């Protein structure tokens, strides 16, 4: 009933003294696939100590050596792409090809981060005093970027590898150590990723991965005095973390309700293709998924027909068969999605397909004529259900987008670049994509959410900078 995996601390694989494990349920079979250790608070304490000690000497390791190890880890990660991909298929029902792509993308991210790190951390600043009123040229100021210490990385289930390395690699190149708390669904893929870093030969204690129940070690980790920075991607939990965390830098990405605004002059084939890709990739379980379509009434019928035709072509089934739509991650997630669908039905949305569910598998569903009184107009389903709201003016679309508590990304389809830029300026989101669906990548692009969508900015350069502090030395001349 499932292979048991150890956790990783102080450079060693360990069993928890709790004697307990946490089961990982395969979303497709709904049976226990793997088990991970239920770590104790005492084990977290020990891991924090070890991470703190390892960081001190890592910070003194030359930057080029840190980069060399990261390049090595990136290569090993790519060599393990099929084995890690298989974990992603079994743990989070990610379609087989996408699972392998996630690992390859992660390897590229680690290498890019090493390259970016040696450039931006290899430079400091030199300031002179006489540019400020009243000063002579008697003070020289030298600045450089120094690490924060121990970075706590908490990635979500939808990219357990990619969003773990997007926190780990910047932290390491900048001279920090890492305590990784993977999501339960995806923990084995994350442990496997950590194993690749282990094989690369990083010093003991520099990278650690603790697994367990949120109720036992969640708050304990995020409120731990040994943590110097938290990088979190996930849902509402992030808001709770930000209220409880200490006086440390926080990097948070907490979901979105990305709007897709379609103007009358849009290329409707392009828009339909992006709506289907953006709305239904990985069954809609992406923070950057298209989560609401706001289309001008005059082109709505044609657009909806085009989207319907493409939805009909999506394959539905197990991730092993590389189907487009696969079971959503947990039964409770499927139940939540179903609740949104029932609410929309009761309030009179037009169902473009029949609603169908078997276990955690939900068939793709487009809901037309959605109105603002329906929950699906505002809430994130994190599943293959996409609402269409018909609008009579661009302002109405912008208003709907901005009335959301989220502000991650948005997109606009039009052939008029001037209009597109004005709409982008008016949308209160971290990024607006013109003529394409929202997406985080390429991974060096800045990635940030406004309002409840997050704190700070990601993207490799921003993450490296965020995981450092400025240190100055001032030379006072006689
Ligand atoms: O849902 C996580 C978020 O980071 C999405 O990434 O690459 O699917 O746009 P991506």
Locus of tokens 């409707």 = 268
Q: Which of 99, 235, 255, 439 to mutate to test the pocket of ligand 1 (most atoms within 8 A of CB)?
A: 439
- Is the distance from the beta carbon of residue 185 to the nearest atom of ligand 1 less than 6 Å? no
- Is the distance from the beta carbon of residue 287 to the nearest atom of ligand 1 less than 6 Å? yes
The C-alpha atoms of residue 370 and residue 292 are separated, in whole angstroms, by: 9
- Centroid of ligand 1 to alpha carbon of 291 (angstroms): 13
Strands 177-180, 150-154: pairing is parallel
The C-alpha atoms of residue 421 and residue 423 are separated, in whole angstroms, by: 5
* 47 Cβ neighbours under 8 A, 6+ residues apart: 9, 10, 179, 208, 210
DSSP state of 427: S
What crossing angle do the helices spanning 81-92 and 96-120 adopt, rounded to 10°? 120
* 257 Cβ neighbours under 8 A, 6+ residues apart: 291, 292, 378, 379, 380, 404, 406, 408
* H or E element in which residue 286 lies: none
Residue 54 φ then ψ, to 5°: -65, -35
Predicted TM-score (pTM) of the model is 0.98
- Is the distance from the beta carbon of residue 72 to the nearest atom of ligand 1 less than 6 Å? no
Confidence of residue 1 (pLDDT cuts 50, 70, 90): low
The C-alpha atoms of residue 195 and residue 73 are separated, in whole angstroms, by: 9
Residue 189's CB is within 10 A of a number of other CB atoms, namely: 33
For residue 281, the ligand 1 atom closest to its alpha carbon is 8
- Is the distance from the beta carbon of residue 286 to the nearest atom of ligand 1 less than 6 Å? yes
What proportion of the chain, given as a percentage, has pLDDT over 90? 99
The C-alpha atoms of residue 435 and residue 44 are separated, in whole angstroms, by: 46
Residue 284 has pLDDT above 90, yes or no: yes
- Centroid of ligand 1 to alpha carbon of 287 (angstroms): 6
Q: Which of 284, 288, 289, 442 to mutate to test the pocket of ligand 1 (most atoms within 8 A of CB)?
A: 288
Residue 77 has pLDDT above 70, yes or no: yes
**How many CA atoms lie less than 13 Å away from 278 in the CB half-sphere?**
32
Cα four-point dihedral sign 466, 60, 176, 248? negative
Residue 62's CB is within 10 A of a number of other CB atoms, namely: 9
Residue nearest to atom 3 of ligand 1 (CA): 287
Residues 12-18 have a mean pLDDT of 98
For residue 286, the ligand 1 atom closest to its alpha carbon is 1
Confidence of residue 169 (pLDDT cuts 50, 70, 90): very high
Residues 436-446 have a mean pLDDT of 97
Instruction: Say whether 305 is catalytic.
Output: no
What crossing angle do the helices spanning 297-311 and 268-280 adopt, rounded to 10°? 50
Locus of tokens 């298989």 = 86
Sheet containing strand 177-180, strands side by side = 12-14, 7-9, 207-209, 177-180, 150-154, 229-233, 250-253, 454-455
The C-alpha atoms of residue 218 and residue 153 are separated, in whole angstroms, by: 12
For residue 285, the ligand 1 atom closest to its alpha carbon is 1
304 in Cβ contact with 354 (< 8 Å): no
Catalytic residue, from 43, 91, 253, 379: name it: 253
Residue 424 φ then ψ, to 5°: -60, -45
Instruction: Say whether 86 is catalytic.
Output: no
- Is the distance from the beta carbon of residue 167 to the nearest atom of ligand 1 less than 6 Å? no
**E strands in 306-379:** 350-351, 357-358, 361-362, 365-368
Residue 64 φ then ψ, to 5°: -65, -30
Mean pLDDT rounded to a whole number for the chain = 98
- Is the distance from the beta carbon of residue 411 to the nearest atom of ligand 1 less than 6 Å? no
Residue 236 has pLDDT above 80, yes or no: yes
Distances (CA, A) of 13 to 7, 70, 108: 6, 21, 26
Residue 365: helix, strand or coil by DSSP?
strand
Nearest to 183 by CA among 172, 170, 174, 193: 193
The C-alpha atoms of residue 217 and residue 315 are separated, in whole angstroms, by: 39
Confidence of residue 209 (pLDDT cuts 50, 70, 90): very high
Residues 323-348 have a mean pLDDT of 98
* H or E element in which residue 118 lies: helix 96-120
- Is the distance from the beta carbon of residue 440 to the nearest atom of ligand 1 less than 6 Å? yes
Q: Is the ipTM of this complex over 0.95?
A: no
For residue 255, the ligand 1 atom closest to its alpha carbon is 1
Residue 438 φ then ψ, to 5°: -60, 150
* H or E element in which residue 182 lies: none
- Centroid of ligand 1 to alpha carbon of 281 (angstroms): 11
Residues 229-255 have a mean pLDDT of 96
Query: pLDDT tens digits, residue range 121-144?
Result: 999 999 999 999 999 999 999 999
pLDDT on residue 2? 78
Catalytic residue, from 287, 323, 401, 411: name it: 287
- Centroid of ligand 1 to alpha carbon of 385 (angstroms): 17
Residues 432-451 have a mean pLDDT of 97
Q: Which of 102, 277, 287, 442 to mutate to test the pocket of ligand 1 (most atoms within 8 A of CB)?
A: 287
- Is the distance from the beta carbon of residue 288 to the nearest atom of ligand 1 less than 6 Å? yes
């Amino acid at each position: 009933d499932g292979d048991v995996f150890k956790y990783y601390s102080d450079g060693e694989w360990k069993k928890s003294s709790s004697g307990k494990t946490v089961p990982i349920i395969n979303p497709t079979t709904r049976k226990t696939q793997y088990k991970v250790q239920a770590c104790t608070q005492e084990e977290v304490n020990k891991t924090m100590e070890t991470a703190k000690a390892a960081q001190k000497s890592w910070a003194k390791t030359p930057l080029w050596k840190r980069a060399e190890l990261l390049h090595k880890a990136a290569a090993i990660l790519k060599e393990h792409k099929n084995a890690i991909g298989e974990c992603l298929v079994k743990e989070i029902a990610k379609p087989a090809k996408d699972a392998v792509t996630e690992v390859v993308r992660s390897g590229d991210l680690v290498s890019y981060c090493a390259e970016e790190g040696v450039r931006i951390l290899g430079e400091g600043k030199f300031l002179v005093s006489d540019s400020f009123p009243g000063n002579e040229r008697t003070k020289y100021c030298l600045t450089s970027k120094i690490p924060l210490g121990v970075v706590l990385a908490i990635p979500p289930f939808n990219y357990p590898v990619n969003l773990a390395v997007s926190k780990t690699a910047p932290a390491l190149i900048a001279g920090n150590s890492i305590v990784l708390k993977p999501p339960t669904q995806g923990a084995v893929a994350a442990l496997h990723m950590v194993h690749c870093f282990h094989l690369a030969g990083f010093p003991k204690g520099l990278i650690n991965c603790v697994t367990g129940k949120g109720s036992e070690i969640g708050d304990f980790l995020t409120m731990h005095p040994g943590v110097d920075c938290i990088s979190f991607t996930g849902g509402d939990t992030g808001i709770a973390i930000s209220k409880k965390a200490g006086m440390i830098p926080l990097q948070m990405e907490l979901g979105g309700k990305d709007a897709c605004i379609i103007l009358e002059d849009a290329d409707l084939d392009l828009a339909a293709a992006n709506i289907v890709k953006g709305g239904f990739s990985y069954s809609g379980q992406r923070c950057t998924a298209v989560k609401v379509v706001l289309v001008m009434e005059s082109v709505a019928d044609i657009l909806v027909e085009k989207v319907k035709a493409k939805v009909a072509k999506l394959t539905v089934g197990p991730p092993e068969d590389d189907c487009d739509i696969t079971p959503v991650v947990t039964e409770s997630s499927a139940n939540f999605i179903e609740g949104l669908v029932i609410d929309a039905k009761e309030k009179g949305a037009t169902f473009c397909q029949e609603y169908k569910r078997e276990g955690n598998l939900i068939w793709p569903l487009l809901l037309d004529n959605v109105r603002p009184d329906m929950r699906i107009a505002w809430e994130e389903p994190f599943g293959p259900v996409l609402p269409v709201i018909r609008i009579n003016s661009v302002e109405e679309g912008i208003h709907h987008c901005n009335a959301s508590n989220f502000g991650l990304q948005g997109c606009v389809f039009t052939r008029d670049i001037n209009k597109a830029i004005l709409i982008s300026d008016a949308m209160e989101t971290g990024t607006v994509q013109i003529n394409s669906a929202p997406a985080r990548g390429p991974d060096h692009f800045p990635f940030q959410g406004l309002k409840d969508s997050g704190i700070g900015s990601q993207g490799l350069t921003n993450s490296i900078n965020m995981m450092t502090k400025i240190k100055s030395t001032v030379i006072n001349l006689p």
